[in-house]
Structure 1
Amino acid sequence: MEIDTYLNKKCEYGEKIDRLNESQKILLIAENLEREINNGGFHQFYWNSSGDYANETVDALIKIGANKTAEIVKKANSEFKNGTVPKDRAERQNELELIEEKAEENWNKCDSRFYEYQDNLTELLIAFVIKNKSDFEK
């Protein structure tokens, strides 16, 4: 989505996410999840800056109606201590190195479930943008 590119630039690829309103954050977080999972699975999602918002991703997906996908992300997040993914990238990468061998089987299953697209993320995001159109006007 073109709007995704605009939002990523506006918030400096998540570094300054507070520049976005709530609806814009939801779209950005959901789009970044999809991009990372399709490019390298949950391990890549957590390793990269998109993982900074792994905890918020569950809520963002629920807000667009992607409840099945939210459950997949929650299951993947459960590999981290107390099911909470560290926001700090360096801290998260250190923890990843400690848990990745044990977590790999679960993450591979979560990747496969994600690829089934039980929720049509594109349709849900389009409906979300239309419903919240005024939040996306420049």
Structure 2
Amino acid sequence: MSNIEEKYLEMSHKIQEKESEAGLEGLNSNERQFYLVDSLLMELNNGGFDQYFSNSAGEFWSETFAVMEKLGITFLASLGLKANKIYHSNKSEDDKLDKFDDLDDKFYAKMEYEETYKKLLSLLS
């Protein structure tokens, strides 16, 4: 495990604990931004875009994707915007799941975690 990954996981844990105790409102602006993108990453790694949009984290998609754009996490932001269009489309659930699977595959194949972690950690320094 790299130093960046270790630091990221440490900060993720601290911010998750703070959010658990004080709620999203209890986080400062930078912690909130970190938390939102971190939540997206956790949902994607656990169940993909379908899970993200089906759970409460998906309620904050607009803010989350804006944070990623601001930080230059463009690959993930682009996938997220495509997933959002699918989620809010009139497609059947099966069609949505097929489209989400395609985006999930792209995410798993090309996600650059360490670069993303660096960008998220920049919020907290």
Q: Same fold (TM over 0.5)?
A: yes
The aligned residue for residue 111 of structure 1 is 104
Name the aligned partner's letter for residue 40 of structure 1. G
The aligned residue for residue 102 of structure 1 is 95
Name the aligned partner's letter for residue 118 of structure 2. I
Cα deviation 1:82-104 (Å, max 9, x = unaligned): x7xxxxxxxxxxxxxx8532311
Identity, % of aligned positions: 24
TM-score, normalised with respect to structure 2: 0.77
The aligned residue for residue 116 of structure 2 is 124
Name the aligned partner's letter for residue 24 of structure 1. E
- 3-state SS in 1 of match to 2:110: coil
| Displacement after TM superposition at 1:132 (Å) | 4.2
Gaps of 5+ in 2: 1-8
- 1:38-53 equivalences under 5 Å are 38-53=45-60
Where in structure 1 do 4 or more consecutive aligned residues deviate above 6 Å? none
The structure in which a higher percent of residues are helix is: 2
Name the aligned partner's letter for residue 46 of structure 2. N
TM-score, normalised with respect to structure 1: 0.71
**Relative contact order, higher structure (CA 8 A, sep 6+):** 2
CA RMSD, 1 decimal: 2.6
Q: Does 1:21 align with 2:17?
A: no
Cα deviation 1:73-122 (Å, max 9, x = unaligned): 000000233x7xxxxxxxxxxxxxx853231121111101111235x233
